[in-house]
């Protein structure tokens, strides 16, 4: 039964850490909201210039929060594995 508990905890923690990290990357890739303008001829996506307006502040905060939680999860796992850290 101990093996099943360790297997389940390892699987759950791996899924959680990978999900947090990938969600953080996804939040960093959130584009800025562009206001539609009708000031000229429409162009194809291939010809559009890239605007560097930045991502929304909430996306940046959410990304760094996800990265911080994943780092804390890794550090907690290292704490559990290394017996010298238990005092």
pLDDT by residue for the chain (87 residues), tens digit each? 999 999 999 999 999 999 999 999 999 998 877 666 656 555 555 555 444 457 889 999 999 999 999 999 999 999 999 999 987
Q: Classify residue 40: in a domain, yes or no.
A: no
**Domain of 17?**
2-32+54-86
Count of domains forming the chain: 1
Q: Classify residue 68: in a domain, yes or no.
A: yes
What pLDDT sits at residue 33?
A: 73
Q: Classify residue 38: in a domain, yes or no.
A: no
Q: Classify residue 42: in a domain, yes or no.
A: no
Q: Classify residue 39: in a domain, yes or no.
A: no
Q: Classify residue 37: in a domain, yes or no.
A: no
What pLDDT sits at residue 52?
A: 45
Structure tokens at 72: 């804390």
b/e code 37-50 from CB counts within 10 Å (16+ = b): eeeeeeeeeeeeee
């Amino acid at each position: 039964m101990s093996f099943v508990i360790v297997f389940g905890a390892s699987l759950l923690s791996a899924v959680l850490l990978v999900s947090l990290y990938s969600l953080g990357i996804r939040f960093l890739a959130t584009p800025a909201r562009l206001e539609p303008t009708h000031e000229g001829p429409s162009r194809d996506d291939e010809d559009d210039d890239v605007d560097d307006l930045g991502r929304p502040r909430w996306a940046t905060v959410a990304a760094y929060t996800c990265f911080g939680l994943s780092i804390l999860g890794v550090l907690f796992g290292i704490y559990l594995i290394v017996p010298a850290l238990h005092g």
